[in-house]
Amino acid sequence: MANARRALITGITGQDGGHLAEQLLEKGYEVFGLIRGQNNPRREAVVAEFPDVTLIEGDLTDPTSLIRAVETSNPHELYNLAAVSHVGYSFKNPTLTADVTAKGVLNVLEAVRVTGRSETTKVYQASTSEMFGGLDYNRPGAGYNEDSLFHPRSPYGVAKLYGHWIAKNYRESYGMFVSCGILFNHEGERRGVEFVTRKITHAVARIKLGLQPNIELGDLWPKRDWGYAGDFVEGMWRMLQHDVADDFVLATGETHSIEEFLTLAFTEIGIDDWRPYVVQNPAFMRPAEVDILLGDPSKAESVLGWKREVDFPGLVSRMVAHDLRLAELQRTFA
Ligand code: NAP
Ligand code: F7E
C-alpha cells in the first residue's frame, strides 16, 4: 500500500460511503473512514464488509477530530459525505442539521487548510438537488442544471446550500481543489429504510412473505429523479480526477412519482393494485414539500464522460429482489 492513493471518506457508514469505499478499494486506494460516536452501532458492519478500511474516530462538529483525521490519513482525496441527510428529520432537528450539514463542511475545509494540505488534498462536497426546491417559478423544463436558481425548502436544503457556497468560497479564496456534486436522489440496496424508496421495497418484500400487512406513507404525488447510488459514486470519483475543480449535476434526466415507484415495486411481487396495502399517515408529511425534481446531467456526461447505467425499472427491481432475500432470512431466523 506504500504507493497507493489515499482517500478519506466522511459518512463511511452511510449509503454512499459504502458504495464509494467498495469502488475505491477496487481501484487500489488506501481507504480511511471517519466514524463518529464512542460506540457507533454501524461500526461492526463496516469492519465486517471492509476489513481493509482504516476507521478514524471523529465528528463533523468537532474541528479537532477532523484535523486529526486529515493528519492521520494524509489523503489525496477527501470525500465529505457525512451529513444529517434526512429531509423530514431536519425539520424536527434544525439546529443539529445546521451544525453538521452546514458548519460541518466549514470544519472539514478548515481541517484541510490549517494542516497545510490546500494544494495536495482534493475535496468532494456532497451537494444536493434539494437546494433547487422544485417550485413552479424556477423549474426549468429540461431539468435543473449547474446554473439553475436555488430555493431550498427545508432546513436540510438550506444547510446544504451553505455547504455548497462555502466549498465554492474555499475554491475561489484559497485555490483549493473543491468540487461539488449536485446529486439528485440515488437509491439502492444500501439505502436507509427511513427513505421512501427503501421503505417501500423493504415493506413490499415483507408483505409478500406475510411479515407485515401494509405500509404507512406520507404524500404520494411528489416526483423525484431517482438513480442508482453505485452509478453516482462513480461520478463523484470522476469529479476528483478531472483537471479542474468545478460543480456537476448528476441525475438520470427522468422523473417519477412515488405512486409510480409503488406500482413497479408491487408488480415485482405479483400485486397489480397497491392501494389496499398503503395507509397514508400525516406523520410522514413535511411542513414544506419539494413537488418535483428533474436533473439535467449534460455537463457531467460531456465533461466527465459519466452516464448512469441503471434505469428506473432496473433500480426498483434490484431493490425488491435484495429485500426479498433479506425478508426470507428474517423469516428463517425469526
Ligand atoms: P446517509 O446514508 O444518511 O449517510 C450519512 C452519513 O453521515 C452517515 O455515515 C452518518 O454516520 C454520517 N454522519 C451524520 N452525522 C455525522 C457527524 N456529526 N459526524 C460525522 N458523521 C456524521 O447519506 P447518503 O445517502 O449516503 O448521502 C451521502 C451524502 O450525500 C450526504 O451528505 C447527503 O446529504 C448527500 N446527498 C445524498 C443524496 C441521496 O440521494 N442519497 C442526494 C444528494 C446528496 P452515522 O452512522 O454515525 O449516523
Ligand atoms: O423522500 C415523500 C417525501 O426521504 C422522497 C435524501 O437523500 O434525496 C433524499 O431526500 C419523497 C418526499 O428523500 C414518505 O415527502 C412520502 O417527497 O426518500 P425521501 P428526499 O426527501 O427526496 C435528496 C436528493 C437528498 O439530498 C437527501 O439527503 O417521498 N414521502 N412518504 C416519504 N418520504 C419518507 N422518507 N418517508 C415516507 O414515509
**pLDDT per residue over 302-324, tens digit each?**
999 999 999 999 999 999 999 99
pLDDT at 1: 67
CA atoms within 13 A on the CB side of 308: 26
CB neighbourhood size of 316 (10 A) = 27
Tell me the CA end-to-end span of the chain in Å, nearest whole number.
43
Q: Is 156 a catalytic residue?
A: yes
The three state secondary structure string of the chain is CCCCCEEEEECCCCHHHHHHHHHHHHCCCEEEEEECCCCCCCHHHHHHHCCCCEEEECCCCCHHHHHHHHHHHCCCEEEECCCCCCHHHHHHCHHHHHHHHHHHHHHHHHHHHHCCCCCCCEEEEEEEHHHCCCCHHHCCCCCECCCCCCCCCCHHHHHHHHHHHHHHHHHHHHCCCEEEEEECCEECCCCCCCCHHHHHHHHHHHHHCCCCCCEEECCCCCEECCEEHHHHHHHHHHHHHCCCCCEEEECCCCCEEHHHHHHHHHHHCCCCCCHHHEEECHHHCCCCCCCECCECCHHHHHHHCCCCCCCHHHHHHHHHHHHHHHHHHHHHHC
pLDDT at 3: 81
Q: How far apart are CA 199 and CA 217, in angstroms?
A: 9
Residue type, 176: M
Q: Is 146 a catalytic residue?
A: no
314 C-alpha to center of ligand 2: Å? 20
Looking at domain 6-186+225-250, its CATH architecture is 3-Layer(aba) Sandwich (3.40)
**pLDDT per residue over 7-40, tens digit each?**
999 999 999 999 999 999 999 999 999 999 999 9
* Residues 163, 123 contacting (CB under 8 angstroms): no
Distance of CA 54 to the CA centre of its chain: 21
* Residues 255, 223 contacting (CB under 8 angstroms): yes
Indicate the CATH number for domain 192-223+255-289+311-333.
3.90.25.10
β-strands 223-224, 6-10: how paired?
unpaired
Judge if 6-186+225-250 and 192-223+255-289+311-333 fold alike in CATH terms: no
Residue 147: what are its φ and ψ, rounded to 5°?
A: -100, 5
Closest ligand (CA of 37) = 1
Q: Hey, CA dihedral for 247, 251, 254, 255, is it positive or negative?
A: negative
pLDDT at 76: 98
- Cβ-Cβ contacts under 8 Å for 255 (sequence gap 6 or more): 223, 224, 225, 292, 293, 294
Nearest to 156 by CA among 211, 93, 219: 93
Q: Is 277 a catalytic residue?
A: no
Cell numbers 453516482 label which residue?
232
Domain ranges of the chain: 6-186+225-250, 192-223+255-289+311-333
Nearest to 78 by CA among 170, 184, 150: 170
85 C-alpha to center of ligand 2: Å? 10
Is any atom of ligand 1 closer than 6 Å to the C-beta of 180?
no
| Residue nearest (by alpha carbon) to ligand 1 atom 35 | 126
Angle at Cα 314 formed by Cα 313 and Cα 318, nearest 5°? 120
Active-site residue identified among 10, 121, 128, 252: 128
206 C-alpha to center of ligand 2: Å? 21
Q: How far apart are CA 75 and CA 24, in angstroms?
A: 13
β-strands 256-257, 223-224: how paired?
antiparallel
Nearest to 297 by CA among 256, 247, 261, 257: 247
Is any atom of ligand 1 closer than 6 Å to the C-beta of 11?
yes
pLDDT by 10-residue block (mean), the chain, 334 residues: 90 98 98 97 98 98 98 98 98 98 99 98 99 95 97 98 98 98 98 98 98 98 98 98 98 98 98 98 98 98 98 98 96 84
Q: How far apart are CA 129 and CA 157, in angstroms?
A: 8
* Residues 249, 145 contacting (CB under 8 angstroms): yes
Is any atom of ligand 1 closer than 6 Å to the C-beta of 33?
no
pLDDT at 244: 98
